C-alpha cells in the first residue's frame, strides 16, 4: 500500500472536521484524534456509514444528524460531587482561603468550565452555602457555568434532576437545597439565580476574568497538547493572583511550575503564583473598550510635546514624508550632519545625508514596500583623518491609526563609544582566551556529566508524559464506557417493560385458545406447528410439547393430514378463509369421527395459517 493510501483516512477525517467547523462553528481540531475517531466511528456505525467522506455527505443532506453527532462526541458524563474525596478537600482546605482572600464584603467569582448539564456548578453553590451560609452566598457568590453543548446547557438552566442523578448528594443537602418537582427535584431558586449558564468554547472564546476559583474537571484530557497549553494560558489570565484551579483526576500541570504552584497533587488542586504576569497572547484575548477622544486643546498640547520630544531626542533623527520631502529634523541631526531648519521642506535626495555615510534612498523605498524596519549596523562616517564615527541607522516606516503609510523615520544611533569599547573588549577577550583554554578541559567534563543528567531527566519527563497521556486516555475510555453503560441500562429497562407486555399478551392469547373447545392449530410460513391448544390435545391425544415446531404434515395422528394439504396451500396463496373440509378421522379414543377442518390465513402475505378442527355435528363455539 502506498503512503498516500495510508494517509487517506486521516486526510478524510481532517476534511470532515473542517466541514463541521465551517458548517456549524464547532471546532474539534484541537481534540485528541484517538478519542475523537472512536466517537465519530461509533456514530458512523450506528447510521451504517463506513467512511468519513460518506459520513460528510450524510451531514450535508441531513441537518439533524449534526445534533446527534455532537451529543456523541461531547461525552456529557458528570455528576454531583464527582470524586467525593476531592470535593471534601476543596470544601475544607481550599474554600476557606478563597473566602478569606476575597474579604468580607467583596464578590466571589467562580467559573465552572465544561459544566455539561450543571451538576458541578450546583455542587459549588452548595459547598459555598455550607461555608458562608445561604444569605451571604446569595449576596456575594457568582458562578459562571459554561459549555459548548447547548442541549446540555438547557438542562443545566432548568436545574431539575431525577432521583437517580441525586444519588451522590448527602441527605441533608438534598433536604436543604432541593425541592420536589413532580417525580424529580429542582435546585432551590435563590441559589439557582447565582449560577449563570452560557455557551463558551474554551479553545476560542475570551476567558471570564478576575476569578477566585476555576473548576475544569476531566475536560482538558480530551484535547491535544497544543490545545491544552492554549487553554491553560487562558486559565492563567482568568485567575486572580493566588486564585485556585481545580482539575480532574487525569489532568496535571506538568510544565507550568513557574505560573502555578501545587496545592494538592492527589486532588489536582493548583494555585496561580502571585506576581507572574499574563502572557501577551492572553492579554490579546480580552477586548477593551475604546478610549474617549481627547479634547482639541489636549491634541494641540500633545503635538507640541511631540515636537519638543523630537528636539530632545539624544540621537539624530530625520522624518521624510511619502513624497520624499524632509518633514522633520531633530536638533542632534542638525548638529551631527550640518543641517538646518531651512532644509525642512527640501527633497531628501538633495541632501548629502541621503547617500553619505550610507545609501538611504533605496532603503526608505524598501522599508515602505516591505512595511518593516531596516537596520544597518556599524556604518562608518569619516569626520577627519584622525576621527571616524560609527552609527547604527534605523529606517522605520510610519503608519497612522488605520495602518496607512504616512512617511519614514531615519534614526542615527552613535555607536562610536561602543565600537571603541568593543576593541578594548576584544583585547581583554584575547587575554581571557588563554585562561578559558585551561578551564575548557574541566568544563568539558562538567558538560559530559550535565548531559548525562539531562538525558536522565528527559527520559524521566518522557516517561512521565507517556504515563500522563495513558492516564488521560484511560479516563476518557472510562467515561465513554460509563456513557455506554447508561445507554445499556436504559435499553435494558425498555426491554424489561416490553418483555412484561409480551408475557401479558402471551398469557391472554393462551387463555383465549384454551377456552376454545374446538382444536386450534397455528402453523408458520414453513408449516411448522407454533400453537396447539387444549381442544386439539383432547381430540388427537398429542400434547403441545410433542408437536411444537414440528412439520405439521409429518405428524402421525388420527387426522389424515394429506387430505387437507391442498386446502392449506390454496389458503396461503389466496389469503382467504377456506372450509369446511370434512375428513374421516380417528380421535384419541380410537373412535371414527368426521372432522370438519377450516383454514384461515395468519398475518400479511407470506405468513402462516390457522386450522380450526371440530367433530361434525357438534355445535361450533
Residue 293 clears pLDDT 50, i.e. is over it: no
- Give yes or no: residues 271 and 384 share one domain: no
Looking at the fold, whether 273 and 305 belong to one and the same domain comes out as: no
In a domain, 254, yes or no: yes
Where a domain ends, among 363, 391, 414?
414
User: Residue 580: what are its φ and ψ, rounded to 5°?
Assistant: -85, 150
Report pLDDT digits (tens) over 373-422.
Answer: 899 888 888 877 778 888 899 999 988 767 778 889 999 988 888 888 87
Which structural domain, as residue segments, surrounds residue 345? 301-414
Residues 109 and 247 occupy one common structural domain: yes
The answer to whether residue 477 sits within a structural domain is: no
- What's the farthest any 2 CA atoms get from each other in the chain? 149
Which CATH number goes with the domain that contains 172?
3.40.50.150
Is the same domain home to 94 and 141?
yes
Task: Tell me, yes or no, whether 111 and 172 share the same domain.
Answer: yes
Strand order in the sheet with 529-532: 529-532, 519-523, 609-615, 592-601, 578-586
User: What is the reported pLDDT for 283?
Assistant: 46
Q: Same structural domain for residues 244 and 322?
A: no
Measured CA distances, 55 to 6, 27, 525 (Å)? 19, 17, 39
Cα gap 495→499, rounded to integer Å: 6
Rounded Cα distance between 378 and 356, Å, is: 14
Question: Average of pLDDT values for 275-294?
Answer: 42
**For residue 437, pLDDT beyond 80:** no
Q: Is residue 227 part of a domain?
A: yes
What is residue 307's predicted lDDT score, i.e. its pLDDT?
61
Any idea what the Cα angle at residue 98 is, between residues 94 and 101, rounded to 5°? Answer: 135
Same domain, 266 and 321: no
Q: Give a yes or no: residue 441 inside a domain.
A: no
- Do residues 256 and 324 share a domain? no
Distance (Å, rounded) from C-alpha 262 to C-alpha 271? Answer: 7
pLDDT (0 to 100) of residue 235: 92
Residues in contact with 251: Cβ distance below 8 Å, sequence separation at least 6, in sequence order = 217, 218, 220, 221, 268, 472
Last residue of a domain, one of 277, 310, 325: 277
Q: What is the pLDDT of residue 295?
A: 39
The residue among 223, 244, 277 that closes a domain is 277
Model pLDDT, residue 175: 93
Instruction: Report pLDDT digits (tens) over 1-48.
Output: 444 434 455 788 888 888 888 887 777 878 888 888 888 988 898 888
CATH number at residue 611: 3.30.450.20
- pLDDT recorded at residue 1: 44
Give kind and range of the element (H or E) at residue 242: strand 239-247
pLDDT score of 301: 55
**Residue 380 neighbours by CB under 8 Å, 6+ apart:** 357, 388, 389, 390
Domain count, the chain: 3
Q: Is residue 180 assigned to a domain?
A: yes
In this structure, are 346 and 222 located in the same domain? no
> 343 and 242: one domain?
no
In this prediction, residue 275 carries a pLDDT of 66
Residue 360 within any structural domain of the chain: yes
Q: Is 527 a member of any domain?
A: yes
**3-state secondary structure at position 32:** coil
pLDDT tens digit sequence for 77-96 = 789 999 899 999 999 999 99
Q: State percent of the chain over pLDDT 90.
A: 29
Same domain membership, residue 317 and residue 186: no
> Is 274 strand, coil or helix?
coil
**Which whole number is the average pLDDT over 520-548?**
91
Banded pLDDT at 503 (limits 50, 70, 90): confident
Does 147 share its domain with 265?
yes
pLDDT for res 101: 85
Asked if residue 323 is part of any domain, the answer here is yes
Q: How does the average pLDDT of the chain come out, rounded?
A: 84
Amino acid at each position: 500500500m502506498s503512503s498516500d493510501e495510508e494517509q487517506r483516512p486521516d486526510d478524510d477525517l481532517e476534511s470532515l472536521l473542517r466541514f463541521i467547523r465551517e458548517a456549524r462553528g464547532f471546532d474539534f481540531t484541537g481534540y485528541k484524534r484517538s478519542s475523537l475517531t472512536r466517537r465519530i466511528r461509533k456514530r458512523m456505525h450506528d447510521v451504517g456509514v463506513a467512511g468519513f467522506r460518506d459520513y460528510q455527505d450524510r451531514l450535508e443532506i441531513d441537518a439533524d444528524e449534526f445534533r446527534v453527532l455532537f451529543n456523541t462526541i461531547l461525552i456529557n458524563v458528570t455528576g454531583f460531587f464527582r470524586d467525593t474525596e476531592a470535593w471534601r478537600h476543596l470544601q475544607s482546605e481550599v474554600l476557606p482561603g478563597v473566602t478569606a482572600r476575597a474579604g468580607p464584603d467583596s464578590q466571589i467569582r467562580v467559573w465552572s468550565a465544561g459544566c455539561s448539564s450543571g451538576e458541578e456548578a450546583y455542587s459549588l453553590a452548595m459547598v459555598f452555602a455550607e461555608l458562608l451560609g445561604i444569605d451571604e452566598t446569595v449576596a456575594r457568590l457568582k458562578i459562571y457555568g459554561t459549555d459548548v453543548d447547548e442541549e446540555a446547557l438547557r438542562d443545566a438552566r432548568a436545574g431539575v434532576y431525577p432521583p437517580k442523578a441525586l444519588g451522590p448528594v448527602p441527605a441533608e443537602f438534598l433536604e436543604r437545597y432541593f425541592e420536589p418537582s413532580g417525580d424529580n427535584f429542582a435546585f432551590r431558586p435563590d441559589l439557582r439565580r447565582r449560577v449563570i449558564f452560557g455557551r463558551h468554547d474554551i479553545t476560542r472564546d475570551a476567558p471570564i476574568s478576575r476569578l477566585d476559583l476555576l473548576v475544569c474537571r476531566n475536560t482538558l484530557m480530551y484535547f491535544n497538547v497544543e490545545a491544552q497549553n492554549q487553554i491553560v494560558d487562558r486559565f492563567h489570565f482568568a485567575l486572580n493572583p493566588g486564585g485556585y484551579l481545580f482539575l480532574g483526576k487525569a489532568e496535571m500541570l506538568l510544565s507550568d511550575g513557574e505560573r502555578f504552584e501545587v496545592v494538592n497533587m492527589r486532588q489536582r488542586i493548583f494555585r496561580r503564583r502571585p506576581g507572574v504576569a499574563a502572557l501577551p497572547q492572553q492579554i490579546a484575548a480580552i477586548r477593551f473598550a475604546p478610549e474617549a477622544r481627547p479634547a482639541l486643546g489636549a491634541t494641540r498640547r500633545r503635538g507640541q510635546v511631540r515636537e519638543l520630544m523630537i528636539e530632545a531626542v539624544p540621537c539624530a533623527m530625520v522624518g521624510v514624508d511619502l513624497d520624499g520631502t524632509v518633514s522633520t529634523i531633530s536638533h542632534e541631526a542638525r548638529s551631527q550632519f550640518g543641517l538646518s531648519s531651512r532644509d525642512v521642506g527640501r527633497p531628501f535626495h538633495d541632501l548629502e545625508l541621503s547617500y553619505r555615510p550610507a545609501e538611504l534612498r533605496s532603503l526608505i523605498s524598501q522599508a515602505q514596500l516591505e512595511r518593516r524596519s531596516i537596520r544597518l549596523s556599524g556604518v562608518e562616517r569619516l569626520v577627519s583623518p584622525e576621527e571616524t564615527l560609527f552609527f547604527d541607522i534605523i529606517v522605520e516606516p510610519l503608519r497612522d491609526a488605520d495602518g496607512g503609510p504616512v512617511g519614514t523615520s531615519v534614526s542615527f544611533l552613535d555607536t562610536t563609544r561602543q565600537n571603541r569599547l568593543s576593541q578594548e573588549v576584544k583585547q581583554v577577550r584575547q587575554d581571557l582566551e588563554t585562561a578559558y583554554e585551561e578551564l575548557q578541559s574541566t568544563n568539558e567534563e562538567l558538560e559530559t556529566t550535565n548531559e548525562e543528567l539531562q538525558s536522565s531527566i528527559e527520559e524521566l519527563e518522557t516517561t512521565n508524559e507517556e504515563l500522563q497521556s495513558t492516564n488521560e486516555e484511560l479516563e476518557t475510555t472510562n467515561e465513554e464506557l460509563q456513557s455506554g453503560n447508561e445507554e445499556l441500562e436504559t435499553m435494558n429497562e425498555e426491554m424489561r417493560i416490553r418483555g412484561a407486555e409480551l408475557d401479558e399478551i402471551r398469557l391472554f392469547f393462551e387463555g383465549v385458545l384454551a377456552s376454545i373447545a374446538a382444536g386450534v392449530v397455528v402453523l408458520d410460513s414453513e408449516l411448522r406447528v407454533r400453537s396447539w391448544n387444549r381442544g386439539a390435545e383432547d381430540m388427537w391425544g398429542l400434547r403441545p410439547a410433542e408437536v411444537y415446531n414440528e412439520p405439521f404434515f409429518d405428524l402421525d395422528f388420527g387426522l389424515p393430514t394429506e387430505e387437507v394439504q391442498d386446502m392449506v396451500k390454496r389458503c396461503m396463496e389466496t389469503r382467504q378463509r377456506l372450509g369446511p373440509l370434512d375428513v374421516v378421522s380417528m380421535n384419541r379414543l380410537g373412535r371414527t369421527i368426521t372432522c370438519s377442518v377450516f383454514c384461515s390465513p395468519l398475518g400479511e402475505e407470506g405468513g402462516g395459517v390457522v386450522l380450526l378442527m371440530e367433530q361434525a355435528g357438534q355445535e361450533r363455539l
